[in-house]
Amino acid sequence: MSRYNMSNTIFIQIASYRDPELIPTLHDCITNAKHPENLRFGICRQFHPDDRFDDLTYYKGDSRFRVVDVPHLESQGACWARNLIQQLYKGEKYTLQLDSHHRFAKNWDESLIDMIVQLQRDGHDKPLLTTYAPSYDPADDPGKRDMTAWKMDFHKFIPEGAVFFLPAAIPNWKKLDKPIPARFYSAHCAFTVGEFANEVQHDPEYYFHGEEISIAVRAYTHGYDLFHPHRPVIWHEYTRKGRVKHWDDHDTKKVVEKPWHKRNTECHLRNRKLFEMDGEKRDIDFGKYGFGTVRSLNDYEKYAGLNFKLRAVQQHTMDRKNPPNPVTWNDETQWLDTFSKKEHVNISVPVDKIDMPNDLQFMFVGVHGKNDNQLYRKDLDSKEVSRYMKNGKFVMNLDFMCTDKPDKWILWPFSKSDKWQKQLKRPV
């Protein structure tokens, strides 16, 4: 008997907030599945009574559907809704977490199961397929689908502490025969063994930002191995142009339990406590929403090339190379020395202190370390230089990643007559 039988059920988790794409998403998902009879839908429909576009009456008579209806002003955010859906899990073999705005390749279910089975044969007991899925446009589909396989790359630590990612095409993806290792988790496209819906549930106290990095680390510490699909299987609509979002409704002008910005602030603090960032301590009981015991947080940091307490990243990760990161160190001290950290250098100097020629071509702006090694450089043309001048001062605030500590900044004008002027140096 084929493995694509009734035992290969898929629990599909969809949190929908006033989304006119919900019905088209469900239709496309079912239509393009090789075995639609194996699909089981858990849906949290956060609805406005005046909306008609997300009416699920037709599907509520279908035994494959488990629907929780929530009036939109009673919703507590995306993570809360996703947690509510996970309580509907009934032991399906696989699970797929989506948003409510997607399109699907023909036989998408077969393709994803094939990848999971292949990874399990390679020794990965709990493989997790996840990515920022390539984009589609509801106004022109399938015409504007991006037909490449995408991955997730490190972007930055935001000031509040969460890690942001960027989508990118997988290099030479057409030549690949299996998924590639991943560092990060996408909440809109994640396919794995069904038990994930029990083991790594969304923390309902999270609001939005911080969700994906916390799930990535928690999944890894529970023994899940992260991968990006090497073929485009599912497409995601990113803009939700012209459509209402949760934070549009949940402001201080509405009668809601808590405005979105307060939930967001509390979420960021909770995330910093989980990772013990910025001096915060894990002084609250996260319970089942904490890390697993199969691997440690430090194991993930070494795998992914991140350090949460330092808000730091290794060059291998910044260069968008696949994990695991190479081991180039012998002990913890050497490991810490491999990280680039975000540095801030503020330049403020009277203009008359700069040896500025009348025929300025460009000005070198640099930051050097103690050994005079260059940590940062930017060449400003004359127009750019003018933009940084105000009230008789040249003022420029620099943010950059580097491994060494900045020691001094340098301003060095170059004239159109091909002459370097006098350098201006100041300690940081």
Question: What is the domain-level CATH number for residue 223?
Answer: 3.90.550.10
Rounded CA separation 243/139 (Å): 14
Which candidate, 376, 399, 378, 385, places its Cα nearest to that of 354? 385
Considering the domain architecture, whether residues 298 and 182 belong to the same structural domain is answered as yes
Number of domains the chain is built from? 2
- Strand order, beta sheet including 424-427: 374-381, 360-368, 408-415, 424-427
Statement to judge: residues 143 and 276 lie in one domain: yes
User: What is the structure's pLDDT at 6?
Assistant: 54
Query: Do 349 and 333 share a structural domain?
Result: no
Q: Are residues 327 and 349 in the same domain?
A: no
Residue with tokens 């993930």: 300
- State the Cα–Cα distance between residues 131 and 186, nearest whole angstrom: 5
Alpha carbon distance 347, 372 (integer Å) = 18
What span, in angstroms and rounded, lies between the C-alpha atoms of 311 and 349?
A: 29
Q: What range defines the domain where residue 273 resides?
A: 1-337
**How many Å is the Cα radius of gyration of the chain?**
25
Q: What are phi and psi of 303, to 5 degrees?
A: -65, -45
CA dist., res. 361 & res. 304, Å (int): 42
pLDDT of 4: 41
Distance, in Å, from the CA atom of 217 to the CA atom of 376, rounded to the nearest integer, reads: 31
On whether both 349 and 217 belong to a single domain, the answer is no
- The residue from 312, 337, 362 where one domain ends is 337
Would the CA dihedral through 49, 54, 55, 60 be positive or negative?
A: negative
Q: Are residues 308 and 388 in the same domain?
A: no
Tokens of 130: 């996840």
Cα dihedral: 288, 289, 290, 292 (round 10): 60
- In angstroms, the CA 12 to CA 66 distance is 10
Q: Tokens standing for 308? A: 């949460």
Tokens of 42: 């858990």
Place of tokens 């940062």: 376
Do 370 and 317 sit in the same domain of this protein? Answer: no
Run of H or E including 235: strand 234-236
Residue 157 to residues 311, 324, 359, Cα–Cα distance (Å): 6, 20, 40
Among 337, 361, 382, where does a domain finish?
337
Residue 83 C-alpha from the chain's centroid: 19
Q: 368 and 286 in one domain?
A: no
Q: Are residues 274 and 378 in the same domain?
A: no
| Res 3: pLDDT | 42
Q: Which CA distances in Å does 387 have to 391, 392, 393?
A: 12, 12, 11
Same domain, 269 and 370: no
Q: State the Cα–Cα distance between residues 299 and 216, nearest whole angstrom.
A: 13
- Across the chain, which has 428 residues, the per-10-residue mean pLDDT values are 64 97 97 97 96 92 95 94 98 97 98 98 98 96 96 94 96 97 98 98 95 98 98 94 84 77 94 96 97 98 96 93 96 92 92 95 95 93 95 94 89 93 96
Q: What is the CATH number of the domain that holds 399?
A: 2.60.40
User: Hey, what are 163's tokens?
Assistant: 């890690």
pLDDT at position 179 is 98
Task: Classify residue 304 by its DSSP letter.
Answer: H
Domain limit, last residue, from 319, 337, 355: 337
Measured CA to CA, the distance from residue 326 to residue 181 in angstroms comes to 13
Contact 128, 219 (CB under 8 A): yes
Q: 203 and 332 share a domain?
A: yes
Whether 309 contacts 275, CB under 8 Å:
yes
Please report the pLDDT score of residue 254 as a whole number. Answer: 66
If asked whether residues 214 and 243 sit together in one domain, one would say yes
What's 326's DSSP letter?
P
